[in-house]
A and B are shown apart, each in its own frame.
Chain A
Amino acid sequence: MGADFEFEIKPQRKTSLGIQEIMKSRELLYFFTWRDIKVKYKQTVLGFSWAVIQPVMMVIIFTFFFGRNLAVPSEGIPYPLFVYAGLLLWNIFSSGLSNAANSMVTNANIIKKIYFPRLIIPLSAVMVTLFDFLMALLLFIGMMIWYRVSVDPLYFIFSLFFSLFLVTLGTFGLGCLLAALNVKYRDFRYVIPFLVQALLFVTPVIYPVSMIKHAWIKWILALNPMTGAINLFRSSLTGKELDFNVILLSSISAFFFFVIGIYYFRKTEAYFADLA
């Protein structure tokens, strides 16, 4: 075994994604994800139900303040369902981003001791939030039945997957970028929570995109991958016509973040062990 296997260790600059290497270490990816899920809910009485309780509390608060008191329009579906649809995707982004951005620093002791494809760490950080998403999605489907919302199942599934794809792509890309920057400049530790908080207001979670009057503001918002994703997912519930330009712009920006994030991460990862 491995007698003709040859590998050269040399000063390096990587620009490839290294998919092959990640595939080889997919078990490790699984173990890291499994560890983080397990540890997250260890020693909690309510366990996995926290993945559902958190968004539900948010839905209740938002429904009370924005749905009832401020009468934010919800495009023809009940406001709780409307805001939950947004929160489902938003939570992947918000917790995925902060998990991924801090992941390299929290795992510094492993990075300094053992080699493995470094991308596995932010990737598993995002996968942990996908697990929470799945739990929350079950409740969401329950809510759809409760409110008797009729959807085109094919379109619903398509829009769910595509919006999930957009969110994951954007979150992972931006997460990798911030993770790499965080290793070098610890300032980002303070930037991240603030960034996530600020982005909630420029993402149509609480309000519909159609509420925005000025066209140019809409284009700026569309640069946020979350805007397109939430818009697409909601359209499958409301049956409202979709603004394809918004989706296109958001997709381009998600892809852009993905490429930039991975490029910067791969470029700097070799020196993580020296800096972390």
Chain B
Amino acid sequence: MKPILEVKNISKKFIIDHEQQAYLSLRDKIQSVFSPKRTTEDFWALKDVNFQVERGETIGIIGKNGAGKSTLLKIFSKITPPTSGSIITRGRIASLLEVGTGFHPELSGRENIYLNGSILGMRKKEIDLKFDEIVDFSGVEKFLDTPLKRYSSGMQLRLAFAVAAFLEPEILIIDEVLAVGDAEFQRKCMGQMEEVSRSGRTILFVSHNMAAVSQLCKKTVWLHDGEVKLIGNTFEVVPAYISRITHHDYQKNWTLSNAPGDDEIKLLSCKLVQNNRTIGVIDINQSCEVEIVFSVLKPVKNLICGSSIYTLEGNCITANADWKPNVYEPGIYKRSMLIPARILAEGDFSILVQLVFYDPSKRSVYLPDILTFHAHDSDHPDTVRGLYKEAWPGVVRIGFEWTEPRSIDPNLSAS
């Protein structure tokens, strides 16, 4: 049988405009006719990507930020065309690049199920048939006739995923959907995905979570700077990806024109600091800081700075956010998250940085794995392991307090 997807020499070029403008204005166009000096640069998001996916396979796509994963998915879902090369598909594709696409706040939950289902490519009959199941899965039956704008963001998300979960395409493309939602809902989603893959459908799964990729995917493609670095069995590719870190990315800087962010917030730099030094290998017995510098372009309020620490397998050790109400005037700001001493164990870690708004919910900056670092346990007098030098288990190494020994009556201790 022919493979369900054949990716042949796919390349995608973006032209980067060095003026800091999202779209063109006619004046710029006219000006550029008179001044031939061009300030553009070609950027290859994908270069000669080749691979095949067999029917019924669940394939993982992994790689750092900017490795080309999202671009590849956009080409798969026909949202943007490749610059050269082709993909042959032999089945209906549905993509979940972001759940809830096309949700309208003024319409009721019921109406949004139909609208969203239709946008995702379901027939009205199909939606009619699955309507009850969708409502059941989402758990919002009480609010079906309430306008979506009155839903909490969690309810909106559940409804959105519920619609998507009942799509029945032959090829399903999923991008980091599981990064959101509470733990119980995430488990439900993972279960649903496993069911989809068991029913013989093909899934393309993009994630930073190596544990999830290992659990779901037999085969994995590792993209690096737009090229396929490694492709093969997940149990070979994921460890190779995890051990990729020979040098640590403990510092990232951007200029305003290429900085991640949107029209309100741009992240300018982030780095790991210990003892006032930017450093990639930290001592777990001393505190260190994740320092971010960002530019606020428009006055905003209640900006939430968040940063989480991950193991290289993609398991989150701890997620953190600053929820204090705030107001920012345009300008450049520096903030640091303090990681206290005696929290982490030794090993390699990665850091996620995000700048988000809760209400209305918006992710201005969301960068998983943006920094990586190595932590080691020093001969510090306060070290948890003391004088013991052999392997010491645990992902975290917290210095819990022990009470002083107290002498007690031996007769009482029996009860």
Contact = CB atoms under 8 A, between A and B. Distances in A.
Interface in A241-273: 270-271, 273
Interface stretch (B19-27, B182-190, B281-289, B324-332): B19-27
Interface stretch (B86-94, B348-356, B381-389): B86-94
Nearest to A269: B81
Interface in B92-115: 92, 95, 97-98, 101-102, 104, 106-107, 111, 114-115
B170 interface: yes
B80 A116 contact: no
A99 B28 CA distance: 26
A268 B101 CA distance: 23
Given A113-B98, A115-B77, A39 B85 contact: no
Nearest to B86: A10
A114 B95 contact: yes
B107 A273 contact: no
Contacts of A271: 80-81
A28 B118 contact: yes
Interface string A77-115: 000000000000000000000000000000001111111
A116 B74 contact: no
B75 A9 contact: yes
Q: Chain A, interface size: which category?
A: 35 or more
Contacts of B77: 114-115
B74 A273 contact: yes
Given A5-B90, A110-B101, A275-B23, A12 B81 contact: yes
Contacts of B115: 31, 35
Contact of A187 (B26, B82, B114): B26
Contacts of B78: 9, 115
B107 A9 contact: no
Contact of A274 (B14, B104, B107): B14
A31 B111 CA distance: 10
B56 to A, nearest CB: 12
Nearest to B27: A187
Interface string A1-29: 11111111111100000000000000110
A218 interface: no
B321 to A, nearest CB: 25
Interface in B10-58: 14, 23-27, 29
Given A27-B118, A110-B119, A114-B77, A9 B89 contact: yes
A5 B91 contact: yes
B320 interface: no
Contacts of B83: 11
B3 to A, nearest CB: 11
Nearest to B94: A114
Contacts of B120: 114
B22 to A, nearest CB: 9
B121 A116 contact: yes
A129 B87 CA distance: 39
Given A27-B124, A31-B115, A274-B80, A2 B95 contact: no
Interface residues of B, number: 45
A186 B23 contact: yes
A220 to B, nearest CB: 26
A10 B101 contact: no
A240 interface: no
Contact of B80 (A39, A110, A270): A270
Nearest to B121: A116
Contacts of B86: 8-10
Given A35-B107, A186-B23, A274-B80, A9 B102 contact: no
Contacts of A38: 106-107, 111
A110 B76 contact: no
Interface string A42-63: 1100000000000000000000
A185 B91 contact: no
Nearest to A188: B26
A186 B26 CA distance: 8
B79 interface: yes
A187 B25 CA distance: 6
A206 B23 CA distance: 39
Nearest to B175: A113
A39 B147 CA distance: 11
A4 B95 CA distance: 21
28 contacts: A2-B90, A3-B91, A5-B91, A5-B92, A6-B90, A9-B75, A9-B76, A9-B89, A10-B81, A11-B83, A11-B85, A27-B118, A27-B123, A35-B107, A39-B106, A39-B107, A109-B101, A112-B79, A113-B79, A114-B77, A114-B119, A114-B120, A116-B121, A184-B23, A270-B80, A271-B81, A273-B74, A274-B14
State the 3 A-B residue pairs at the shortest beta-carbon distance, nearest first.
A115-B78, A10-B86, A9-B87
Given A114-B79, A115-B78, 13 more contacts: A2-B170, A6-B90, A8-B86, A10-B86, A27-B124, A38-B111, A39-B104, A110-B102, A114-B97, A115-B79, A185-B24, A186-B25, A273-B79
